[in-house]
Amino acid sequence: MQGCCEVTVTTMTDLSTTALLANQHESDRETYTTQSGTCCFCGRRVEGVPVDEAVSHQYFSDYARMADDTGHVCCDCALCMDQRALKQGHWIVTAETHERVSTGDLHDRFESLRDGEYDPPIAIHVSKNPIRSEHAYLWTPVNEQLARPAVSYDRQCTTLDWSVYETVLTLVEELRWYGFRGDDIRSGEPRVSDLESIGADRFREVEEMIEPHRGTALLEIAWTVSRSRDDQPTPPTPTDE
């Protein structure tokens, strides 16, 4: 399984994902500038507030995300922690825009990302549960390029190779066309009716290609981005890649 610490990605040393998000809410920043210090989360030396003012210890559980126990949270990280809307759902943020993306729109947005229709710096998060609050901005990296972007999913990160991603997405959509559910794809143990629908030989071929990605953030992202049978414009064309 790929964790955030395994991601190799070029980031801007003076820019964090929380800074990109806070740029879209600049009028609120001054609320969180009562002291100077080095942020215990993003590591930048930016004005902010004491940890006890920014963190609700009753609900916060991501202390492992602290880079250092400085007692200081910068205004950008503090603002994000105080804005419920920034803690939920799938999102894409750049220097110019912050998009909250519905699950149904993820497929089109990822095509736009692949085609270079966004300008870096950019941070991308896919949520495991879009209605659950989470501090994903603390572990979602900033990308300076989209050729191989780092994308966070739940508490994991993965670097997308677009060719591999497209293959896995195509396979997942093929399985969904034949009725496979998410748990069936994750386990490789389909219902008898779905196995009969796709055919045992084709299922073995698909399973062989999916198996190396089982348990990874890549497979979960592909599942989340994939379209149901009703939303796929044409029947799947089997891939042997």
- For 9-65, write each residue's pLDDT tens digit: 333 346 899 999 999 887 788 889 999 999 999 999 999 999 999 998 888 888 888
- CA-CA-CA-CA dihedral for 20, 21, 25, 26, to nearest 10: -30
pLDDT over 80 (residue 81): yes
Please state which of the ranges 25-39, 67-81, 162-176, 210-224 shows the lowest mean pLDDT: 25-39
Domain ranges of the chain: 11-159, 162-231
Alpha-helix runs per DSSP H in the chain: 17-23, 51-54, 75-82, 106-114, 162-177, 182-187, 192-198, 200-210, 217-225
For residue 92, give the nearest of 12, 152, 9 by alpha carbon.
Answer: 152
